[in-house]
């Protein structure tokens, strides 16, 4: 097997990105462990960390790998996009892609998620 320096460098960069992402997620989980809040925003944060960061950034104010920044998303937008895979009337999407599938199981969690993203 003939590996070039460029190939090795690309593999190393990919592994470093993966490790950095893992460290960021673990840091968020550990930071959240000390909080015993049972308020809507705390519950919403847990929903976000569990369901959303696969595509969106662990920091909702920043763009993710696939999904845009969603800090400040309205409850109306969350209900439309998360539950139905659509946008509310008159809304202009941040990206032209339609990658996000509906996640109807999150219906009871939308108020908490909206509270966290405010």
User: What per-residue confidence (pLDDT) applies to 8?
Assistant: 57
C-alpha distances out from residue 100 to 39, 43, 52, 54, 68, Å: 27, 22, 10, 11, 11
CATH level 2 (architecture), domain 38-117: Orthogonal Bundle (1.10)
* 34, pLDDT greater than 60: no
Residue whose token pair is 């998360």: 82
Residue whose token pair is 């976000």: 48
Task: Say which residue, 83 or 31, is predicted with more confidence.
Answer: 83
pTM: 0.67
* 44-55 residue pLDDT tens: 999 999 999 999
Neighbours of 115 (CB within 10 A): 16
Under the banding of pLDDT at 50, 70 and 90, the label for residue 96 is: confident
| Domain chopping of the chain, boundaries | 1-34, 38-117
* 40-95 residue pLDDT tens: 999 999 999 999 999 999 999 999 989 999 999 999 999 999 999 999 999 998 88
């Amino acid at each position: 097997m003939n590996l070039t320096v460029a190939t090795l460098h690309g593999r190393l960069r990919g592994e470093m990105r993966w490790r950095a992402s893992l460290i960021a997620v673990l840091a968020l989980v550990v930071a959240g462990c000390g909080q015993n809040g049972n308020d809507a925003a705390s519950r919403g944060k847990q929903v976000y960390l569990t369901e959303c960061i696969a595509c969106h950034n662990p920091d909702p104010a920043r763009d993710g790998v696939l999904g845009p920044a969603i800090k400040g998303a309205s409850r109306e937008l969350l209900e439309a996009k998360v539950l139905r895979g659509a946008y509310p009337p008159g809304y202009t999407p941040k990206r032209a892609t339609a990658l996000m599938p509906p996640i109807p199981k999150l219906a009871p969690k939308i108020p908490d998620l909206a509270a966290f993203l405010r």
